[in-house]
């Protein structure tokens, strides 16, 4: 007789979901709960990080208002994700290459994109996509997850040229359900490319909750299939996000290959300001729970306890941010509006006769 073999699938499932803890340094009251993960940041660096996060919150508030006034086009809210975005970016160098998604404009600005160009990009103006060579970044990707494939390619290029820099890129929890996501981490892992991949898990892909997208207990564990490290971190904790990001960057540039980081975060506003209504799929209780974890409140408490932050200092940052935004939107307003002839000129490097004729037609029309 053939001996019957049984497989304990429950035990297998426990093994699959094991060993993916959520790393944290500060609790929501600003207390240090994991000193072993505490990053080595000077007082000046801690203040600079908080300054960038506050500046980003003001940018979100003003961008929302400008959108409602019709002075901005596409806008994806960022409030709540300041630690996930700015603390991760803080761990990288200017020569590292940033490939952002459409919600990642704050990182792009900190990486060197003038605010005026960020506003022009929101308006769909070609000038918002013309980057100087010294800016190591690509414009925000609208196609969900496509920046991951681009990042894998750029990372392979860095490795081939023996560059001691990395590519870092972001997508949301919905992006981790895309085919581009799997293809990118797989090929980057196979060739040990210099890359750090972020999943900003804010709980919802527009209105689809994370638990409806995948049976995986964490999104970080998706790294296992690609043979690369996967780490889950409290995305509302700037010190934990920075610490994990710095370790991931060091690991990657040492030739060990890419890292996948899942940040558990929350967007306080809608998915975008293009008609999404979060009250249809998120409860007030959920919003209230996450507002208690606000990264600015948490970090503020920590810095105030160290004597590094105050209400007056924060007010100064807020006022400076408002001035910067006011000046940048005025500069964007002064940029000549696009014309049909401009669009046609940008279509081909070598223009076919049919396009030349259309350019001549529209230029004559536009000059009247």
Q: Residue 79: how many CB atoms within 10 A of its CB?
A: 18
Nearest in space to 332 (alpha carbons), one of 173, 92, 114, 106: 114
Would you call 153 helix, strand, or coil by DSSP? helix
160 phi, psi to nearest 5 deg:
-65, -35
Q: Which residues are catalytic?
A: 267, 271, 281
CA dist 229 and 172 (Å) reads 18
- 71 contacts: CB under 8 Å, gap ≥ 6: 329, 333
Q: What angle do CA 109, 159, 102 make, to 5 degrees?
A: 30
Q: What angle do CA 329, 332, 337 make, to 5 degrees?
A: 140
- The residue to which tokens 């990657």 are assigned: 252
Q: What is the three-class DSSP state of 267? A: coil
Closest CA to 172 of 214, 131, 224: 214
Distance CA 266, CA 200 (A): 9
Helix (H) or strand (E) holding 97: strand 97-99
Residue 334's nearest CA partner among 171, 125, 45 is: 125
What does 199-239 look like in DSSP terms, one character per residue? Answer: EEE-SEETTEEGGGT---S-SGGGGGGGTS-EEEEETT-HH
Q: Alpha-carbon distance 183 to 368, whole Å?
A: 51
């Amino acid at each position: 007789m053939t001996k019957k073999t049984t497989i304990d699938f429950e035990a297998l499932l426990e093994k699959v979901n094991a060993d993916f803890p959520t790393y944290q340094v500060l609790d929501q009251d600003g207390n240090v709960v994991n000193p072993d993960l505490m990053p080595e940041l000077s007082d000046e660096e801690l203040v600079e990080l908080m300054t960038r996060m506050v500046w980003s919150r003001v940018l979100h508030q003003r961008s929302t208002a400008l959108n409602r006034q019709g002075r901005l086009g596409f806008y994806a809210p960022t409030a709540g994700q300041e630690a996930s975005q700015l603390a991760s970016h803080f761990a990288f160098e200017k020569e590292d290459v940033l490939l952002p998604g459409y919600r990642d404009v704050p990182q792009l600005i900190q990486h060197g994109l003038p605010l005026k160009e960020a506003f022009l990009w929101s308006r769909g103006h070609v000038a918002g996509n013309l980057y100087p060579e010294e800016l190591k970044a690509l414009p925000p990707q609208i196609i969900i997850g496509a920046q991951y494939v681009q990042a894998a390619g750029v990372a392979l290029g860095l490795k081939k040229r023996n560059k001691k820099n990395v590519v870092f890129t972001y997508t949301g929890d919905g992006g981790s359900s895309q085919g581009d996501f799997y293809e990118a981490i797989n090929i980057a892992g196979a060739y040990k490319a210099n890359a750090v991949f972020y999943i900003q898990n804010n709980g919802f892909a527009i209105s689809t909750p994370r638990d409806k997208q995948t049976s995986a207990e964490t999104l970080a564990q998706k790294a296992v299939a690609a043979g690369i490290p996967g780490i889950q971190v409290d995305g509302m904790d700037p010190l934990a996000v920075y610490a994990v990001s710095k370790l991931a960057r060091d690991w990657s540039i040492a030739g060990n290959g890419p890292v996948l980081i899942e940040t558990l975060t929350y967007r306080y506003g809608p998915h975008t300001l293009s008609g999404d209504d979060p009250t249809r799929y998120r409860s007030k209780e959920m919003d209230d729970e996450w507002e208690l974890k606000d990264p600015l409140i948490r970090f503020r408490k920590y810095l105030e306890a160290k004597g590094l932050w105050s209400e007056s200092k924060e007010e100064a940052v807020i006022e400076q941010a408002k001035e910067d935004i006011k000046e940048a939107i005025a500069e964007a307003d002064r940029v000549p509006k696009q014309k049909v002839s401009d669009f046609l000129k940008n279509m081909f490097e070598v223009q076919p006769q049919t396009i030349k004729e259309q350019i001549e037609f529209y230029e004559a029309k536009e000059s009247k």
